[in-house]
Chains A and B, each alone.
Chain A
């Protein structure tokens, strides 16, 4: 297989996340590169993440506002947002990362880009940011479905 850029890998993840949200929540999602015109400011308060071990190790994350997480999980489980508890939110966002990663892992199996999964985890707090060291390679996608906004990031670590 010829070489794949981190931008292409980011698209694999973003496209698969779109598929996951279409299948499990019935949402139509569109994805653009972060920083493009029309990308609004959002202040994420919840983030699901996972470390991937491969030839190069990477971290992937999905960040969103609480309201987005409530809606996503409500639409995946059929439970009203107000009946969801905080632990459902953290679990759900972590699991979303896990499900998004499954097919990408299968796609990249037996290539130089193959990786092993770790257990997903979730972080919470106001206006979460992920700050990596300078010059680390990474890519970012901004995904929207109606009013829902999600930021996907991948970075070699």
Chain B
């Protein structure tokens, strides 16, 4: 069951919006990472049930970070947060075994239905 969620995104607004929506639906946001490297470190430390991962980020981007997380834990569940124009990257992410993308802007319905697809 998905309960504890890690958010990896360089935008504080996305953290705020996701956190508010997730908490409303009784999920727990166990960590906020602001770049890919922090995301990988926090994944290892917190072992969340699910990760929301932005694509374009400083230091390590979301694709590279997802790869590292998948290497560490083949069962890791990751939902990628994408903007328009990220189509190339979506193809690459699919090769990593990530098949759920949330296109910005996302609303409550999209967030919750993406999570329900993961279970």
Contacts and interface: CB of A to CB of B under 8 A. Distances in A.
Interface of A: 25-30, 71, 74-78, 80-81, 145-148
B105 A145 contact: yes
Given A75-B105, A146-B104, A26 B17 contact: no
B16 interface: yes
B20 interface: yes
Which size class do B's interface residues fall under? 10 to 19
A74 B17 CA distance: 8
B84 A78 contact: no
B83 A78 contact: no
Contacts of B84: 27-30, 145-146
Interface in B83-119: 83-85, 103-105, 107-108
A58 to B, nearest CB: 30
Contacts, number: 44
A25 B106 CA distance: 12
B58 interface: no
B85 A28 contact: yes
Given A25-B105, A27-B84, 5 more contacts: A26-B13, A27-B104, A28-B83, A145-B84, A146-B104
A53 to B, nearest CB: 34
A29 B12 CA distance: 20
B71 to A, nearest CB: 28
Contact of B16 (A71, A78, A81): A78
Contacts of B13: 25-26, 75-78
A30 B84 CA distance: 9
11 contacts: A27-B105, A28-B83, A28-B85, A71-B105, A74-B17, A74-B105, A75-B17, A80-B17, A80-B108, A145-B104, A146-B104
